[in-house]
C-alpha cells in the first residue's frame, strides 16, 4: 500500500510517476511508482507496494528491487512496450545521424576536389 502520510503530512493525491522517457505523444509511466502530492503542496515519490517514499524517483526505482513478489501488470507491460519503441526511435536516430555523417564526408570530399580543380585552373590562367 502506498504511503498515506509522509513525515506526518497527508498525501492528498497520487498518480503513476511519469518516466523521464515520457513524451506528450507517447506517455511512459512507472505504475509501481506513485507521484504523491502532499497537503503542503510538495511532491514526492512513493512505492505502490509499500509505504516507502523518497523525493528522488531513482531511489524509489531502486527500492522496487526489494519487492521480488512485484507483479507485472498489464499497464506496466504497456509502459515497457512504449519504452521499447523509444529505444527503437533512438536506434533509428543514431542510424540517420550516421547516414548524415557519411553524406557530409562525401560532400566534403567533392568540395575539396573542386577546390583543387579551381586552384589548378587559376594557376593555368595566371600570367
Residue numbers of the site for Zn ion (CB under 5 A)?
A: 47, 49-50, 52
Q: Provide, rounded to whole angstroms, the least separation between the CB of residue 89 and Zn ion.
A: 31
Distance of closest approach, residue 17 Cβ to Zn ion, in angstroms: 13
Residue owning grid cell 524517483:
57
Query: CA separation (Å) from 81 to 17, 29, 61, 75, 95?
Result: 17, 11, 18, 10, 21
Q: In whole angstroms, give the CA distance from residue 40 to residue 34.
A: 17
Q: Which residue in the shown chain puts its C-beta closest to Zn ion?
A: 47
Task: Name the minimum Å distance from CB 50 to Zn ion.
Answer: 3
Q: Which is nearer to Zn ion, 37 or 49 (CB)?
A: 49
Amino acid at each position: 500500500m502506498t504511503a498515506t502520510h509522509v513525515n506526518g503530512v497527508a498525501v492528498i493525491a497520487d498518480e503513476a510517476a511519469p518516466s523521464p522517457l515520457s513524451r506528450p505523444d507517447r506517455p511512459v509511466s512507472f505504475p509501481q511508482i506513485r507521484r504523491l502530492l502532499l497537503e503542503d503542496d510538495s511532491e514526492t515519490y512513493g512505492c505502490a507496494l509499500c509505504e516507502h517514499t523518497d523525493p528522488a524517483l531513482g531511489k524509489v526505482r531502486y527500492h522496487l528491487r526489494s519487492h521480488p513478489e512485484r507483479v507485472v501488470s498489464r499497464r506496466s507491460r504497456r509502459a515497457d512496450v512504449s519504452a521499447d519503441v523509444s529505444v527503437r526511435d533512438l536506434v533509428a536516430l543514431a542510424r540517420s545521424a550516421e547516414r548524415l555523417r557519411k553524406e557530409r564526408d562525401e560532400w566534403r570530399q567533392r568540395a575539396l576536389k573542386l577546390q583543387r580543380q579551381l586552384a589548378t585552373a587559376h594557376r593555368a590562367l595566371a600570367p
